Structure 1
């Protein structure tokens, strides 16, 4: 049995024994790494710096150069001024030539007093009627008469808005006037005693001429005032007041009329629910009834014409079929079904035929069993579809429907189409002279083009300023410059009374403005936001940028720790 002393000795020996050996990895982990030489530190820093130098001085410049968006300089302030109406204030000096077979001094006195009376009646300062003596062989001195401003108007001057012929008569009520329906000429009949040697302001001829001229151009003044009231920076106090009835009528005309275009395509279509008539003498009918009207509109727009015949054309299923009225002894269509009369799903009426907007004129010949076919509410046979065209129903009576329609048979339809064409082009309803109404439309179109083109310039300036990421090629800047130049020419021509030239310049300006605004390279970038660019570049730049950034941060942290 061991003694207690021996046990104590054994424990003492065990405590003095060395610890067991540890693994080699643990020993190496506690051993500090050898100190890095300064040469290796600078070598690593130079390597990182070289990568950053390649990125900063080579990669980024190349990336910016290859992805740079070229933006041509635009005259933004000038474009904005046009859009805000600060450049051009429309002014309409209408020149009126007066042919007076009286001594020159009497004619000058008569025109001076008439002008004074006319100015007192005018409530539209921007619309001025300027009376001048016409150069005519019927005048007293035969060659040329000069008025107070030192000018005279030739009888064949294209810029003359109206010609007044004073005609002395011995019989009938005087003074009286007669406006030529197919000429810009107003004949005023007077008796010799109404033009004394020294005309006075209370002369009946002076007041009659002033009132007659004021009434002739009242419709034009109302339309121009309504048009200018929609333009920016317009002083409405200088516009003539319009009644609620006038405003409603002007709004209705605007809703019905087509938007202006340099070229229109007219399509004349013959539709019938049977196999007859299968032909029509449309070319001769157009030459006889429609072409003279189109020739009158040639100064405003150009026209192309197309014709077609469609057999077995059925009604649209969306309308109520014609019903027979014993009271009217005719087949009737309800007024609410007229808008759906044209079977757009089956009738070949494409709106994109030709160079410009298509204006459709439909001639419908009902079958013999449903003839005559009229509108129930007003017994009419034609109606207008706003901003689209017109429809006319040709009832041939109880006789057998012919295989072909002659020019005489087409006459009612051609007259209806001519009236519808006049309404669709926005021709004013007054005065009774067609050339005067067309010249009024010319001034309205020129003014509306100046306003709309100026608005397009303003929209282009806003797009340029707000969308910095879209490219702007040089041709956009060139078109903008041409637009501004033509707008200025149009405005100057308007102020000089050269309305045909003003319309031509305004039309050119509109074409250039739309060409600039709808530039293909610009439109393609409008809907490409910056988020898309990040989504494209991130997969390429991320794997390269992360190691470079982490290495730079690690080296910066080590340098701060050493310091």
Structure 2
């Protein structure tokens, strides 16, 4: 082989290697790149902009006057319009929905939400008045006297004959209705307006305060008050476990009719909350459940008893020995324990800091559940029947209310504003929650879910923007798009005052945003960043690339020399 053929062959081999490199480079780049489905970052950021979610939740209140004594003591039609308009203006000014931009509550001025906060939610009121000359008995508090929709309420006003010492009677029913009996004629529009303003404004004052906390502190996670610390974080589904723990089955054998008790006392409560969350229920019985803390001795009624003090209660749960998670579930757990102490520690009571024995002999563990202690009086077999479990289930329902954020309805500062008024609150029915409480919980959770969904989506957008090696699959993109659409639908539903529909969309937005943020595929490539790629590829490609690069340089120099020699020969 001549030198020219050798050089030609060497050039062809080198060119072939370069072609292989050039063709393989884009294939390698494509097969090793991190897939990132495009996300609507601008749409996500738009929800965080100033006044992106500034909403007034309008509540419709129908005020009806009844001629209780039949002497024309109720306002005329013209006066009724004036009272309704003045009451509506005063309420909206009180709650900061007027142009004044501040809420005045019982002599206390609170500035409205700062402009840099993306969410600002206030309550607004639409008042309508009516006269009913045919009804003379306001005591018939039936279903026809209440409203069937969230956000629609009725206030029934009757004026009674003025009597010495007669006071204003206010009856807050469990079904979106308030009954007010004012002694004297209702033609005194100033007095009537003041009474109605105090009643209606006070009923929703706590709810408005909660909205201010949510929006100013940008989410429930920022709240540090006791109520927020003990309330469970919202979830679309909860796993509820009822556990019967028997410390010493050798002395006392215990069983219970838990299925019948749950059906009778717990399921009605959960059915009322079905539009907010789902609840999966299971039960279990565990024996030889030792008390994880040491009880103390105290004298009570002339005998020595064992007591658990408040500072010891947080250590009551012994997760190493008590396997309370009987069902494998990703849903947040709610545990409710009925504990039977051993004979050596009986009777066992829960006391306060002042050493007063709690009547319920139960306590709440924030964001975990509740515990009821029942002492076995005799050795042998003890059976908790449905009737025996009734007071225990009442305690569990009360603990569930605290854990799920159900707040008691009340008229704030009624003692100061209406010092001579007698207020009666109808207790919750068998369901364990009134419609007033349910409505406020639905609205509060709706706003909270919207705020949390927006915060989660913005955190996701920031994370993906800053970490270029993070995988973004099509499923994550779909979840984000669905969450944004649900947020828009929730906002439209709130504008239409359809709180039930808004709650549904807010729940879907929250669930989708959480699913996208915590998708396990997003962190797969974070453990193999670019620095690690270089560490892997350099030992492989450097030994190959250096000889090839030297050969290319040598070939280029040889080609230049050959071209130079040919040029010299031609000259």
TM-score > 0.5 by shorter chain: yes
Partner of 1:269: 243
| 1:202-213 mapped onto 2 (5 Å cutoff) | 203-213=190-200
TM-score by length of 1: 0.79
**Residues 401 and 90 of structure 1: CA distance in aligned 2, closer, same or farther (over 3 Å):** farther
| Unaligned stretches of 5+ residues in structure 2 | 67-73, 96-101, 104-111, 113-120, 136-143, 411-424, 427-433, 565-571
What SS does the corresponding residue of 1:378 show, helix, strand or coil?
coil
**Residues 207 and 508 of structure 1: CA distance in aligned 2, closer, same or farther (over 3 Å):** same
Q: 2:35 aligns with which of 53, 70, 76?
A: 70
2:247 maps to 1:255: no
Partner of 2:418: none
Q: 1:116 aligns with which of 74, 89, 92?
A: 89
**Residues 497 and 463 of structure 1: CA distance in aligned 2, closer, same or farther (over 3 Å):** same
Distance 1:352 1:105 in 2: 64
Partner of 1:178: 171
TM-score by length of 2: 0.78
Conserved? CA contact 2:64–2:154, under 8 Å: yes
Distance 1:65 1:454 in 2: 34
Moved more, 73-82 or 338-347: 338-347
Conserved? CA contact 1:83–1:457, under 8 Å: no
2:555 maps to 1:555: yes
Conserved? CA contact 1:97–1:155, under 8 Å: no
Deviation for aligned residue 1:323: 2.7
**Residues 501 and 85 of structure 1: CA distance in aligned 2, closer, same or farther (over 3 Å):** farther
Distance 2:440 2:297 in 1: 44
Distance 2:447 2:265 in 1: 30
Kindly provide the CA deviation profile for residues 39-87 of structure 1, in whole angstroms up to 9, marking residues without a partner as x: 654553343233212321x221222233343322211111122245653
Moved more, 552-561 or 286-295: 552-561
| Unaligned stretches of 5+ residues in structure 1 | 1-35, 143-152, 233-247
2:308 maps to 1:333: yes
Deviation for aligned residue 1:208: 0.6
What SS does the corresponding residue of 2:524 show, helix, strand or coil?
helix
Distance 2:302 2:404 in 1: 34
What SS does the corresponding residue of 2:341 show, helix, strand or coil?
coil
What SS does the corresponding residue of 1:331 show, helix, strand or coil?
strand
Distance 1:40 1:249 in 2: 81
Moved more, 44-53 or 354-363: 44-53
Conserved? CA contact 2:36–2:472, under 8 Å: yes
**Residues 49 and 353 of structure 1: CA distance in aligned 2, closer, same or farther (over 3 Å):** closer
What SS does the corresponding residue of 1:349 show, helix, strand or coil?
coil
Task: Tell which structure's C-alpha radius of gyration is larger.
Answer: 1
Conserved? CA contact 1:104–1:141, under 8 Å: no
Conserved? CA contact 2:47–2:454, under 8 Å: yes
Q: 1:53 aligns with which of 11, 19, 22?
A: 19
**Residues 533 and 355 of structure 1: CA distance in aligned 2, closer, same or farther (over 3 Å):** closer
Number of paired residues?
491
**Residues 258 and 78 of structure 1: CA distance in aligned 2, closer, same or farther (over 3 Å):** same
- Aligned CA RMSD, in angstroms, stands at 3.1
Conserved? CA contact 2:146–2:176, under 8 Å: no
Conserved? CA contact 2:88–2:127, under 8 Å: no
Conserved? CA contact 2:170–2:181, under 8 Å: yes
Conserved? CA contact 1:110–1:206, under 8 Å: yes
Partner of 2:391: 412
2:74 maps to 1:87: no
Which structure has greater strand proportion?
A: 2
Partner of 2:275: 299
Deviation for aligned residue 1:255: 0.8
Distance 2:48 2:326 in 1: 31
Deviation for aligned residue 1:96: 1.8
Partner of 1:473: 473
Partner of 2:155: 164
| 1:232-251 mapped onto 2 (5 Å cutoff) | 251=225
**Residues 539 and 415 of structure 1: CA distance in aligned 2, closer, same or farther (over 3 Å):** same
Moved more, 166-175 or 71-80: 166-175
Distance 2:132 2:38 in 1: 58
Distance 1:508 1:353 in 2: 24
Conserved? CA contact 1:162–1:436, under 8 Å: no
Q: 2:181 aligns with which of 189, 192, 201?
A: 189
Conserved? CA contact 1:428–1:437, under 8 Å: yes
Q: 2:371 aligns with which of 365, 371, 391?
A: 391
